[in-house]
Structure 1
Amino acid sequence: MAQATRIEHDLIGDKEVPVGAYYGVHTVRAVENFTITGSTIAQFPELIAALAAVKQAATRANRDLGLLPPGIAGAIIDACEEIRAGRLIEEFVVDPVQGGAGTSTNMNANEVIANRALEILGHPRGHYDVIHPLDHVNLGQSTNDVYPTAVRLALVASLRRLGDSLGALATAFTEKAAEFSDVLKMGRTQLQDAVPMTLGQEFSTYAVMIEEDRLRLTEAAALLLESNLGGTAIGTGINGHPDYAELACAYLADISGEGVRPAGDFIEATQDCGAFVQLSGVLKRVAVKLSKTCNDLRLTSSGPTAGLGEINLPPVQAGSSIMPGKVNPVIPEVVNQVAFEVIGNDLTVTMAAEAGQLQLNAFEPVIAYSLLRSLAHLRAACDTLATRCVPGITANREHLHDSVHRSVGLVTALTPHIGYAASTALARQALATGRPVKDLAAEAGLLSTDQLDTILRAENLTGHSARPSAAAAP
C-alpha cells in the first residue's frame, strides 16, 4: 500500500512528504541529495539537543522583543523542550555530511519544531500558515549563526563526557600504580635497559598524562562558548532586532547551563573556525598519548614466554582461530585504532577549516561530523580501557625482580661512587660474562658488600620516596 503523503512547496516546486512526518519539504530534498555516510544527525543526540536549545533561546528573545505572539512562542518553546528531553530524535533524518554549510540540518530542525508546535496547538502538520518553519521558528536567524552555535554547544557537551571518561581512566591507572608501588623493574630508553624504577611509577605516569589532557579539554571548551548567534547571514545582523543577539545569548546560557557569550566581532566569528582547529588538535593530543600508553601495555605484556612478559593483561577473548591458547591484547589494540581515526579526523578538520572562503566556511558539516565522532569514539575507547583492561592487569613480580638484578643498567647507580670509566668496564664485563653487576663489583673490590647493598637498595635506585604521587601531580 502506498504511503500517505501531504504536499509541501519550496522554491524548487511541490514535493510529497510522508503525512506522519514532523519534517518537511526541505528535509526530504536534503535526504535525497545527501546519502554520504549512511547515517543521520540523530546519531549525535548532543547536536539535536543543542539545536533545540538554540531555537528555544531565539524564540524567547523574539517573544520578549514583541516579534512573536506569546501563543506561537509558547508552542515553539514547548516543542523545543520536548526535543531537548529526547523526543522526536528519529525525525532528524538528514546526513551529517552535506553541502550548504549546515542549511539542511537547520531546515530539519525548523520543520520538526514547527510541526510539533502546530500539533501542540491542535493543528495538523504542514499547516504553516499558523506556524511557519522559517517565518516563526527561524525568525531573526540564519543557518550561519544557528548551526555553528549548536555545533559548539554539542561539542562542549561531548567534551564534558570525554573528560569524565578520562577521569575514570586516570583513576584506574592511579589505583593500579598504588598496587604496583613496590614492584621493581628496569626502565628503558630506546628499548634498551636504562635505570630501575617501579612499576607503580610507570603506571602513575599514565595517570598524570591523562589528567594533563583533561585540563587541555577544559581550555578548548572555553573557546567554544563564544557564539555568533544574532549575526545572521555573515555577521552583520541583517533582519535581526538590535537587542536580539545579547538577549538570545543570555537565554541560551540559561537553557544550556553553559557560559555562552556573544562574540566580540560577529563577522569574524561567522567565518573563523579556529576554535574547531584548536579542539581537534587537543583531541589528537589525547589520541596520541592514549595510543602511546596502549603501545606500552602491548609491549610490556608481550609473550607470554618469548616477549618482555612484565605484566599480564586480562584475557577477554580467544586470540586465534588456528593457534590454541593464544590471547591477544585486543583492548589496547582497539584503542590504538580509535587513535588512528582521531588523528585522521584532525587532518580533515584542518583542511576543511583552511578551505573556508571570505565570509563563511561552507565545510562546517564535515568539521562537526569529524569532531563529534572523535569525541564519541575516544570516550568509548577510554571507557573500554578503564573497565575491560586496566583493573585486571597483573605484574610478573619475580620476573621483574630478576631482570633488574641481571641488568647492566644497575651500573649507572655505581657511577657516582666508582667513576664513569670503571663503570663502563664493569658493564662490558657483565655483558660478556652474563654475571650480575653487583657480584662483579664486589669481587673487584670496587665497593664493599655493605656499600653495594645500600646503593642498590630499591628506594635508592628509584628515588621513590622523593617522587610525588599521581594524585598530587598538577
Structure 2
Amino acid sequence: MDKFRIARDTLGEVRVPEDAYYGAQTQRAVENFPISGLRLPFSFIKAQAIIKAGAAYANKECGVLDNQKAEGIIKAADEVIAGKWNEQFVVDAYQAGAGTSQNMNINEVLASRAAEILGGKRGDYSIVHPNDDVNMSQSTNDTIPTAIQVSVADQLHKTLYPALNKLLDVLEEKEKEFHGVIKAGRTHLQDAVPIRLGSEFKGYRGAIESVKHALEHTEASLYLLGLGGNAVGTGINAHKDYADLAIKEIAKRTGLPFSKSENTYAFMQNTNAAIRVSGHLKELAIHLIKISSDLRLLSSGPRTGLAELTLPAVQPGSSIMPGKINPVILENLYMICSQVIGNDTCVTTAAIGSQLEINPMMPVIGFNVLQSITILSNGIMIFTEKCLKEITANKKNIEAWLNQSLSLVTALNPHIGYEKAAALAKESFETGKILKDLLIEKKLFSPDEAERILDPKSMI
C-alpha cells in the first residue's frame, strides 16, 4: 500500500506521496489535471532550476535572502539541473493557466530538497519556504516565459543547429557528387528542361540555409528576458538590483547572452519570441516535407516508378509482399513535420489567448515549441544518417527518362520557332518517336546538328 504524508497549503490539507519532494499545490494540480500523461520536458525543468538558482543568488547578493537558505536552494537547483530529480516534476503539460502549478512544482521540490541539505526534513517549509524563499522576487508570470525562452534558446544550440549543420553538410556533398548527372527537369509533375541532379540538391540546401538564418536572426528575441517584472511587469516586491543580477547569473550558467528586456510589460503580455521561433520551425517543416516528398517520388519504383534515385534499405516494407522496401525514413520525416505544423497552429491559438497583463496559455506554448525542436532535431539526424548519406543515382534510368523528355524541344525555339517546335513535341508524343529521330527524319537538321542542338549539356 502506498504511504502518504500530510502537506498543507492555503486551502487546507492534502495527502502527498511520502517520498515526494513536491507538496500540496503540486498534488492538487496532479489531481485537477489528469489530462494527457505528458510533461514539460527536462529542458524546461532545467531552465526553471537555472532561473531559481539565479534568483536565489541575486536575492542573497541584494541582502534580502539569508545566505544559508540561498546556498541550500542553489545546491538543490544544481541537482535538478543535473537531472537528479526528474521524477518529481509531475504536473501535466495541460495544466492551470500561466503555469502556476509548474512554478509551484519546482518551488516545492527545491524547498524540500534545500531543507534536507540544511539538515531538516523534506516538506518542512519552516526551514525553506517555496513561496517566501524559493519564489522570492518572482511570479509565475515572469518565470514561466523566462523558462520558455531559456529552454528554447538552449535547445536550438544543443540539438537543432547541430542537426541542421549536419544536414547542410551532406546536402552539399550530394550536390557535388551529383553535379555531373544531367536529368529531366519536371515542373507541375510534367516534363521540363534538363537540370543537374546536383542542382536539385543545391535547391534543397538553399531552402534549409534560408530558414536556419531566419532562426538565428530570431534568436536575438529569445535573449531579452523580463525576469523581475514579477506579477504584472512592475517589479513589485523585488529589489532594484535583483533582475540584473539574476539575469547575469542565468547568462553565466547557460553560456548564452541573456539580458534584461527594456519593456517588462510587453514581455509578460506576449510570447513574441516563442511565436517567431515556432513560425520558423513550421517553415523548416514545410521545406523538409518538400524534400522528403521529392525523394520519395524520385525513388519510386523500383520497376514501375521514376526510380532515378535509390534509397538505402533499412527495413522490410511489407508484412505481405516479400522483398518490398518502402521509403520509411522519408515517411517518418513527413509525419514529424506534420506534427510540427500542428504544433505551430496550437502555439498561434494559445498566443491569441493573451489578455491584459499575462498570457495564461504559456505552458502549452512552451510544450509545443520544445516538442517541435526535439522531434525535428531527432528526425533530421535520422534522415541525414540513415537515408540522405546513402542515396545513389540510378544513371541508367535517369538517362532513359532524359532522352524521352518532350521538353528537350525547348532548345528548338531559336531555330524553328515556338509553334513548329510545339507541333514536333505533339508528334513525338503521339508517335512515341524521340525528338532527335523526328528532326532527322523530316530532314530539318543533319544527325550532327540534331545531336548538338538537343544535347542536354547545352541546356544547363
The alignment's TM-score, normalised by the length of structure 1, stands at 0.93
The alpha carbon displacement at 1:392 in A equals 2.0
Give 1:71's match in structure 2, choosing from 68, 72, 97.
68
Give 2:114's match in structure 1, choosing from 111, 117, 125.
117
Q: Which runs of 5+ in 1 are unaligned?
A: 463-474
The alpha carbon displacement at 1:449 in A equals 3.9
Q: Does 1:314 align with 2:312?
A: yes
The alpha carbon displacement at 1:106 in A equals 0.7
The alpha carbon displacement at 1:340 in A equals 1.3
Q: Does 1:30 align with 2:40?
A: no
| CA deviation map 1:200-236 (0-9, x unaligned) | 1112221221122211221222212211100000101
Q: Does 1:152 align with 2:149?
A: yes
| CA deviation map 1:20-74 (0-9, x unaligned) | 2221111111111111121223xx1111110011111111111111011212111
Q: Does 1:131 align with 2:128?
A: yes
Q: Does 1:19 align with 2:18?
A: yes
Quick one: structure 1 residues 324 and 436, their matched pair in 2 at CA, closer, same or farther if it must change by over 3 Å? same
The SS at the match of 1:122 is coil
The equivalent residue for 1:467 is none
Query: Equivalents in 2 of 1:344, 1:409: separation in Å?
Result: 39
Query: Equivalents in 2 of 1:251, 1:205: separation in Å?
Result: 43
The SS at the match of 2:98 is coil
Q: Which runs of 5+ in 2 are unaligned?
A: none
What RMSD, in angstroms, separates the aligned Cα atoms of the two structures?
Answer: 1.6
The SS at the match of 1:242 is coil
The SS at the match of 2:83 is coil
The equivalent residue for 1:426 is 424
The alpha carbon displacement at 1:190 in A equals 0.3
The SS at the match of 1:193 is strand
The SS at the match of 1:15 is strand
Q: Does 1:98 align with 2:95?
A: yes
| CA deviation map 1:231-271 (0-9, x unaligned) | 00010111111221222222211122111121221112101
- Do the aligned partners of 2:204 and 2:291 also contact (CA within 8 Å) in 1? yes
- Do the aligned partners of 2:137 and 2:239 also contact (CA within 8 Å) in 1? yes
Q: Does 1:335 align with 2:333?
A: yes
In structure 2, what residue type is equivalent to 1:82?
E
Q: Which moved more, 1:446-455 or 1:435-444?
A: 446-455
Give 1:193's match in structure 2, choosing from 187, 191, 194.
191
The SS at the match of 1:421 is helix
1:298-447 aligned at under 5 Å gives the runs: 298-447=296-445
1:172-183 aligned at under 5 Å gives the runs: 172-183=170-181
| CA deviation map 1:344-382 (0-9, x unaligned) | 111111111112111111011111111111111111211
- Do the aligned partners of 2:94 and 2:364 also contact (CA within 8 Å) in 1? yes
Runs (4+) of structure 1 moved beyond 3 Å? 442-459
The equivalent residue for 1:141 is 138
Query: Equivalents in 2 of 1:163, 1:386: separation in Å?
Result: 14
In structure 1, what residue type is equivalent to 2:332?
V
In structure 1, what residue type is equivalent to 2:247?
C
The alpha carbon displacement at 1:282 in A equals 0.7
The alpha carbon displacement at 1:274 in A equals 2.2
In structure 1, what residue type is equivalent to 2:233?
G
The equivalent residue for 1:465 is none
The alignment's TM-score, normalised by the length of structure 2, stands at 0.96
Q: Does 1:58 align with 2:55?
A: yes
Q: Does 1:8 align with 2:3?
A: no
In structure 1, what residue type is equivalent to 2:135?
N
The equivalent residue for 2:85 is 88
The SS at the match of 2:228 is coil
Q: Which moved more, 1:414-423 or 1:250-259?
A: 414-423
Query: Equivalents in 2 of 1:219, 1:90: separation in Å?
Result: 36
In structure 1, what residue type is equivalent to 2:402?
V
The alpha carbon displacement at 1:448 in A equals 4.1
- Do the aligned partners of 1:153 and 1:224 also contact (CA within 8 Å) in 2? yes
In structure 2, what residue type is equivalent to 1:365?
P
In structure 2, what residue type is equivalent to 1:438?
K
The equivalent residue for 1:203 is 201
In structure 1, what residue type is equivalent to 2:13?
D
Q: Does 1:242 align with 2:240?
A: yes
Query: Equivalents in 2 of 1:231, 1:105: separation in Å?
Result: 18
Q: Which moved more, 1:179-188 or 1:139-148?
A: 179-188
In structure 2, what residue type is equivalent to 1:11?
T
